[in-house]
Amino acid sequence: MSDSHPFDADTAVTGTGPRFEATISDRWGVVGGHANGGYVLSVCLRALRQALDRPDPLAVAAFYQRRVLPGPAEVLLDLGRSGRPLATGGARLLQGGQELVRVVASFADLSQADGPTLVTGSAPALPAPDDCVDLFGELPGEADLTAPGITGRLECRVPRLPGWRQGAPSGRAEAEFWMRLAGGRQPDTMALPGLVDMAAPAVFELGHFVSTTIELSVHVRARPAPGWLACRVSTRYLIEGYHEEDFEIWDSAGTLVAQSRQLALLLS
Amino acid sequence: MSDSHPFDADTAVTGTGPRFEATISDRWGVVGGHANGGYVLSVCLRALRQALDRPDPLAVAAFYQRRVLPGPAEVLLDLGRSGRPLATGGARLLQGGQELVRVVASFADLSQADGPTLVTGSAPALPAPDDCVDLFGELPGEADLTAPGITGRLECRVPRLPGWRQGAPSGRAEAEFWMRLAGGRQPDTMALPGLVDMAAPAVFELGHFVSTTIELSVHVRARPAPGWLACRVSTRYLIEGYHEEDFEIWDSAGTLVAQSRQLALLLS
């Protein structure tokens, strides 16, 4: 894993465990200045991967308790069983001695997976990335939704600009689009758990622009091929402000590589 | 919470924390003799609820590392933030000093939820329970799928017997049915996280009858009305043996009350 790309450099941890040190970068900030939850999760997974000695984060759950700010942080691990095919452990991310995020993850070696396959869902039906529009290509003056942090780390291509980007949310909390890390870093299983939380939330299309994640669960289903990732996001149940967001990532070869669900709460 | 019903009696914990004692009952056993994962999760949530002092398990994730057997167990808590509206903590269930299951949960008071509601999904379209068939009503001699443990704790009603119950799996990993705890115990938010893992797995309809849960994530969305629960289960992505199972529970008033996803691995 090269540390030259911002994703790798900014998720790096130092130490030998169970305590690691990290530096939360402002390059993954969202509106409000705190760090994106997918990025913070990726920092915790870097520490867990080192301790669990397996390549692929198969199943991941993150509980967001407080906002994480740019600056120093520590990651404390509490390992569980290391067996076959899984090794499991927990991570707590702290700043100033306060626990902000708690993660549990089971790592495996997905190249060893061996069993039946039957897929009934299908990849998003998108025009080629070059025939799509850059979601952040022509930013309007009102930059509330497009803070300078994380939007510079990602490239998103859409068949047409969504309603919320034109000041007219469609009322349908669903979208399909292409996504990749900016700067040419190819996707891998360590990038997928963070990416599911980095795109525009589906509730933007309902006219709700501030939402906080309570819990995020990610299942990594395969190692992604290089290239653009086809994404599908939706929210079907907004109940008293609480809502789920389902996210799928398919690779450039048409394989489902990650599936996630988060529970979030509207703040506006 | 009355302890007279098996669900309440068998999930009881004693102690004042952070260490609790529990007794895993054989009344919630599955084929193989180990305890159902939803039941084990419910034991952990009983300890967390006592420590976190909030009524409703809003978001729950459980990582299953080893099988849990009938007999004594201990539940060790590791609490996180207690704020508003959430209080978060972790629980590890051990037997013989070995960690078997790890749970993290955020509890809240769902009666205090206050925000916009927009529901685009719909409840299962089922005939009334009395016009349905008892899934376990006429058990065949080959009791492999219908061990004496947990099937006696549940009542399930189906519009018609599923293919797998007639020796002819349909090939479509999806089902809609009614479910309730046997013995008249009404549903509440403490029962929902376990119930999502207690019905017949969707992959039974693919002819796969042995599957082990790796991770289960549950979001409790509302307090259920008394009566039968309408359930919807599906698996869309079986990849190299790994598969997700999505589960929805709707109450008798037609409200979505729980939503879950688990990652599981076929063992046969």
CATH of the domain at A41: 2.40.160.210
Residue from A66, A68, A102, A107 whose CB has the most chain B CBs within 10 Å, to mutate: A102
Q: Most A CBs within 10 Å: which of B205, B215, B236, as the mutation test of the A interface?
A: B215
Query: Measured between alpha carbons, how far is A17 from B152 in angstroms, rounded to an integer?
Result: 46
Polymer length in residues for chain A? 268
CA closest to A261 among chain B residues: B261
pLDDT tens per residue across span B58-114? 999 999 999 999 999 999 999 999 998 899 999 999 999 999 999 999 999 999 999
**Inter-chain contact A58–B242, Cβ cutoff 8 Å?**
yes
Domain count, chain A: 1
Does a structural domain hold residue B82? yes
Q: How far is CA B200 from CA A56, B20, B179, in A?
A: 29, 30, 11
B106 CB neighbours in chain A (<8 A) are 63, 65, 214-215
DSSP element (H, E) containing A39: helix A37-52
pLDDT of residue B3: 60
The string of DSSP letters for chain B reads --SSSHHHHHT-EESSSSEEEEEE-GGGB-TTSPBPHHHHHHHHHHHHHHHH--SEEEEEEEEE-S---SEEEEEEEEEEEE-SS-EEEEEEEEETTEEEEEEEEEEE-GGG--S--EE-S-------GGGSEETTTT--S-GGGS-TTGGGGEEEEESS--GGGGT---S--EEEEEEEETTSPPP-TTTHHHHTTTS--GGGGGT---EEEEEEEEEE-SPPPSS-EEEEEE--EEETTEEEEEEEEE-TTS-EEEEEEEEEEE--
Q: What is the pLDDT of residue B142?
A: 41
Q: CA nearest B171 in A: which residue?
A: A118
Q: Is residue B1 one of the residues assigned to a domain?
A: no
In angstroms, the separation between the Cα of residue A93 and the nearest Cα of chain B is 11
Whether B251 maps to a domain, the answer reads yes
Q: Residue A137 has what pLDDT?
A: 78
A65 CA: distance to closest CA in chain B (Å): 6
Interface touch A237/B221, C-beta < 8 Å: yes
Q: What pLDDT, on a 0 to 100 scale, did the predictor assign at position B141?
A: 43
Query: Strand, helix or coil at A118?
Result: strand
In a domain, A89, yes or no: yes
> How confident is residue B129, by pLDDT bands cut at 50, 70 and 90?
very high
Name the residue with higher pLDDT: A85 or B194: B194
Looking at residue B32, what is its pLDDT?
A: 86
CB-based contact A80 B58, cutoff 8 Å? no
Lowest mean pLDDT among A228-232, B22-26, B150-154, B231-235: B150-154
Report if residue A65 sits inside a domain: yes
Q: Is the pLDDT of residue B145 over 50?
A: no
Mean pLDDT of chain B: 94
- Is residue B116 domain-resident? no
Is A58 within the bounds of a domain? yes
Categorize the per-residue pLDDT at B146 as very low, low, confident or very high, splitting at 50, 70 and 90: very low
- pTM score, whole prediction: 0.95
Task: Please give the Cα distance from B55 to B189 (Å, whole number).
Answer: 8
Local confidence pLDDT in tens for the 268 residues of chain A: 456 899 999 999 999 899 999 999 999 999 888 999 999 999 999 999 999 999 999 999 999 999 999 999 999 999 999 998 899 999 999 999 999 999 999 999 999 999 999 999 999 999 999 999 999 876 544 433 444 689 889 999 999 999 999 999 999 999 999 999 998 899 999 999 999 999 999 999 999 999 999 999 999 999 999 999 999 999 999 999 999 999 999 999 999 999 999 999 999 7
Residues of B in contact with A236 (CB under 8 A): 119-121
The verdict on residue A115 lying in a domain is no
Mutation target to probe the B interface, by most B beta carbons within 10 A, among A92, A215, A238, A260 is: A215
Percent of chain B with pLDDT over 90: 88
Query: Which residues of chain A have a CB within 8 Å of the CB of B215?
Result: 59, 61, 106, 217, 219
Q: What is the extent of the structural domain holding B143?
A: 6-110+126-266
Q: Out of B58, B104, B266, whose CB is closest to A104?
A: B104
Residue B118, pLDDT score: 96
Chain B residues in contact with A212 (beta carbon < 8 A)? none
